[in-house]
Structure 1
Amino acid sequence: MNIGDRVRLLHGKEEGIIKRISSSGRIEVEIEDGFIIPALKSEAVVIHAAESAFFGEKESESEKDEIPTAISAPKDQGIYLAFIPINDQNLSLYLINDSSTNYLCHASEVYGSNQRTLFAEQLKSGEAKKFDDRIIKEMNDWPSFLLRFLPIQPKLEKARQPFERQIKIKPTQFFKHLSEIPILKKRGYSFHLELTTQELDIQKLNQELESINPKPTIEPIQKPDKRVDLHIEELVPNPERMSNSEILRIQLEHFEKNLNQAIASGMHEITFVHGIGNGVLRKEIHKRLSQLTNIQYFQDTQKDQWGYGATLVRIT
């Protein structure tokens, strides 16, 4: 059994191509509709060429169920970010263009001041395009999604305004968005993205600016302390009234703010005191640091004083 082999899953009717094989004996199979299904090697069997020769080519799932570029004419309801369940553990992310306009689209995930591009393509009217997968149980750790849309106007007509949306998915609200997804005609979770735009009165705007006449000021970058204490008692009053998730959010915001200021002000290193606790804050800080290219290295430090409760960050 090798990457690229076509296999059939024994506990279901799915067939697909092996995309990944781990040393633990697990495989990832891409089935006909593009979804990735994890399985054990023992749960799959290779489909040999002899089988196809004897029984004839089976009509593929993609031929039967493949989502066409446009299932029906768009209702001109706008642009959607949609999450389609693959199973009870995984979701596929789609951009849905249920409008009469073609768009150039750019989707990225945001980590503080850093971004990673997930999708950058044309999204035609009436089209749905998958651009990523996500694990449901990790929803609390999902970064924000930044989505930008630039209308394509092939003929001379009144200009349509580009727009962007940044969305942070919250589990408490996510499951309230269950509905039938436009274009795909499948059940899933959808978020409407288009913002209403308003034409600007340029003359009136200029008059207001002239009356205000603000002087441009450049605020100096505040250089943080070399040692930043992230214990919640140091950050907010009465933390005992806060939930664990709210405490973690505030601590991570304080961490990112001070790290960004340290980078912008040219500091070579900074230490974050996060405490030992249950290790969640330390793990999340190390995870975010590992995703940044301008960090030379980071390590546990001051073990004699803090144990594993402090992290030294060396900035390139």
Structure 2
Amino acid sequence: MNIGDKVRILHGNESGVITKISSGGMVEIEIEDGFRIPVHRREVVVVSAVEKQYFGGAQAPSQTPSVLDGGTVSGEGVFLGYIPLNDKDHSIYICNDSVRTYFVLVAEIFGENCKTLLADKIGPNGSMKVGEKSIADFEEWPMLLVQLFPIHEKIEKQLPSIERRIKFKASSFFRSKGKIPVLGKNGYVFKLSENTKEINVQELNAELNEGKMVEQPTFKKPPREIDLHIEKLVEDHSKMSNSEMLRLQLKTFETNLNQAIASGMDEITFVHGIGNGVLRKEIHKILSQMGNIKYFQDSQKDRFGYGATLVRIS
């Protein structure tokens, strides 16, 4: 009785796969629905292939539909194979039973981290060893990432890449016995290149945006002349400090200038008055640092006594 054996509980209707053998004669069995139960080994019996054939028991559905339990693999493609070295250790192979050459990458995933096990080109009827794993550590096996990139050695239709993220369950792994293609050895085999679908980005975007109206950004066009005198901006500024008034005036200036640029205006005039010249100086400083301004100049002496700045937008 070993890990991976299909067993039946003598005093019950449950059957499953041995996932762990503990001291004291206890074994852990994963039954069909994924639950694991501890049972004494005297209470279980190994289900042999002869018994299954004689009674005509139906095979439980497998999570690897391309693998025939205890038989051969259907169809050509790329396969992941686990070949037993002894009763515990297994060698892992990538086998390419197809006419296509692939660049293959295999990595173990540890949360947000990963470890690359293999990165190489595999040709038709080729195989590559990925590593080794012990069945005794089955529960601790990390998720396995396999990526296959078809190599087009001539001008032809582009084929989609293949990606598989594999986290084995005992109930599916130990039912996947078969003859591993290319190598011709018995082991546990999984078809990687089945049920692939090419992703059409345009169709995917259309599905994601179906029924949604794409909003186009709109920008309010400001008046061609903006008066920045504080009494034009607030009803009562008697309690505002000079710095607060200046910040509000500059914010109003920048908001209207940005709207003028975004809406495609060619010019705009800001009326700031003469006063002590602080607001004018700050406005000219900002304009001198902008790249989309053609020029700016004092303007409208007849109306404001050079208390305004004309801005020409490039």
Report TM bin, short chain: 0.3 to 0.5
Q: Which has the larger radius of gyration?
A: 2
Say which structure, 1 or 2, has more relative contact order (CA 8 Å, 6+ apart): 2
TM-score (norm 1): 0.41
